[in-house]
Structure 1
Amino acid sequence: MNGPNDVWNDIFGGMYFTDPLYERDYWIDFKQELPNKSLYYRNKNGKINKLDTFTQPNGIVGSEKLKKLYLSDIDAGKTYVYDILGEGKLSEKKIIL
């Protein structure tokens, strides 16, 4: 990962997390490991899947009651919502802002 940032835990024991990468001046010999900035899901057994790619994903929250996951792509100036379809499974994203 480049720099996991925000996380939201689900009822299945897994977590959705963003990997936006914010480079720091004090990092020495830094090399970006992944070319994309993405949304991932890590299940309770530790398996990680990339779900979607963004400009700069930062800010994530979900609702078990509404079965929704919200994600902000701050550099794109957009906020998206997904329907949570199951463990680590999301609908196509929809722009809400």
Structure 2
Amino acid sequence: MAFHRSIVLANFAFFLLLIVAVWARPAGPFVLVVTDPGGEASGNMQVIGDAGGRLVWSGRYAWISVAYSDANDFTGRLMRAGALLVLNHDLAVGCLEGN
């Protein structure tokens, strides 16, 4: 019986992970860019610039910002330029509340 509960819990956790992954997936021209937390704001701006984007907003943490580009491959270019994560910009709401 405990084995069946483990399977159900594992499937539920996987389902939740999929929902979060779809929700956090970058969509549209605005994205949330996460770079090296040990770096400075100039490093974050350099990554965005190297990817051909523009800095839109940066808050309390210099390594997290919102960037803009019309390019379809902007997410990939950010990753190649050194971004650690590129997420849906709607996640920045929590960062805005931290100011």
Q: Give the TM-score taking structure 1 as reference length.
A: 0.29
The structure with more radius of gyration: 2
Q: Give the TM-score taking structure 2 as reference length.
A: 0.28
Structure with bigger RCO (C-alpha 8 Å, 6+ apart): 2
In terms of fraction of residues, the more helix-rich structure is 2
In terms of fraction of residues, the more strand-rich structure is 1
